[in-house]
Structure 1
Amino acid sequence: MGLFTRFTDIINANLNSMLDKAEQPEKMIRLIIQEMEETLVEVRATAAKNIAEQKTLARKIGAVEKSITHWHGKAEVALEKGRDDLAKAALTQKHKYQAEQEQLHEENNQLTEFLTAVQDDAQRLQEKLNEAKRRQDALLLRQASAEVRLKVREKAAVYNIDEAIGKFERYQQKIDRIEAEVEAFDMTENKDLSAQISALEQDDNIELELAQMKKQAANG
């Protein structure tokens, strides 16, 4: 695709319409911006090349004007000396350079018109590029906003899950307390039983000691 064919397509492009139809607007606008930037570089390079050419033309025009002045002076000198033949020859050279001057001026005018058009087109392209970048910034802002909103939704979902788990843990703790009470009750019962048995054992010891004391007393 030629530079100006592509340029015309970009200039005439409706960004809103292109983005509305795109499946991936953010990708589409990146491509548009890249295309515009590359085209703008080419347009500026073309303008620079033609500006350099215009400067060359200006130097040529200046040289031709000097030649015209030079041969005109020669013709005047020849006339003063009565040499019409030399004056005619000098004027012939002058006319040759005048014809070249006209051609160079024509080329310079065409180049000036071309450069003016290129500058206007470059300005329009820059405006399109600025518009595309604004759209890109808007898309990025929307994307960032959507991501934040998604995170909020995800956190809300996590909170709901955490709340459910919390309820389950509280229920589990309630069961643990009930089980602990049962265990405490069992431990209390076992302790009472042990105390009763110990009391019986103590009674036996007392009875045994009492019997021994009676036996000793009888033997004495």
Structure 2
Amino acid sequence: MSIFSRLSDIVNANINTLVARAEDPRKIIRLIIQEMEDTLVEVRSSAVQTIAERKELERRMAQLARDEAEWERKAELALTHNREDLARGALQARTHLAKTREGLRTQHEQIVSGLAQQNDDIAKLQAKLADAKSREQALMSRASIANSRVKLRERLYDERIGDAFGRFEQVERNLDALEGRVESFDLGRRTLEQEIEGLEADSAVETELAAMRARLRKRDEAPSAPAVEGPETTRS
């Protein structure tokens, strides 16, 4: 039975390590996937051939078992006719067939064991292949995003963009200067709203002053309370 040497290399490979070493991760992971797919096809083809060999061995062993039984029947028949020489020859033929069948049985066991190992390797390879394809999709998405970001950064740091932003800043400074000139004409001038607010504030102050004067005048005009005489003044 043929076991491909690169199968175990791929099954045991660390895909992350292979990708990290590659200058172009997309290229190396594509090569890994292609190698896995090719190997999977070859291993399955080999497994089909091995299964056919196993079935052929099983047919031969079954036929040998039938032949053994037939020679044993012939040996018994010879004995019933007092032909020990023929019975001995039949038993020798049966023994030869039994040895041949035992050799085929050992070969059959080896093939069955190899098929089990091969089936395990195929399962591992399929898992690795699915993982690689999943990583390929994620890698393509990351590469696309990274390329878009690089292009955007290149445009942002392009001298023409810098010049354009410099012109914007100059326009803003010119507008600031123009607005400053307009505001300078209004310095020292009070708007109508400001004038009215001033009048309202003056009126409130005058009202409060008038109320304060009234309180003071009322307090001054209030009569003084008469002095109270003490006990010594009464006795005199």
Give the structure-2-normalised TM-score.
0.63
Query: Is the CA contact (8 Å cut-off) linking 1:3 and 1:39 kept in structure 2?
Result: no
Matched-pair identity in %: 42
Counterpart amino acid of residue 28 in structure 2: M
- Deviation readout 1:21-64 (Å, 9 max, x if unpaired): 11110000001111111111111111111000011111101110
Counterpart amino acid of residue 79 in structure 1: L
Unpaired segments ≥5 residues, structure 2? 172-236
Query: Is the CA contact (8 Å cut-off) linking 1:74 and 1:87 kept in structure 2?
Result: yes
Other-structure match for 1:9? 9
- Rate the CA distance shift 1:55–1:3 in 2: closer, same or farther, 3 A: closer
Give the structure with the higher percent helix.
Answer: 1
Unpaired segments ≥5 residues, structure 1? 172-220
Query: Is the CA contact (8 Å cut-off) linking 1:68 and 1:98 kept in structure 2?
Result: yes
Q: Distance in 1 between matches of 2:3 and 2:117?
A: 14
Question: What number of residue pairs does the alignment pair up?
Answer: 165
Q: Distance in 1 between matches of 2:104 and 2:61?
A: 6
Q: Distance in 1 between matches of 2:3 and 2:144?
A: 36
- Displacement of 1:78: 0.8
Query: Is the CA contact (8 Å cut-off) linking 1:40 and 1:125 kept in structure 2?
Result: yes
Other-structure match for 1:116? 116
Aligned-CA RMSD value: 2.6
Other-structure match for 2:49? 49
Q: Distance in 1 between matches of 2:155 and 2:19?
A: 32
Q: Distance in 1 between matches of 2:101 and 2:120?
A: 28
1:68-87 to 2 correspondences below 5 Å: 68-87=68-87
Counterpart amino acid of residue 118 in structure 2: V
What is the SS of the residue equivalent to 2:4? helix
Other-structure match for 2:134? 134
Query: Is the CA contact (8 Å cut-off) linking 2:8 and 2:121 kept in structure 1?
Result: no
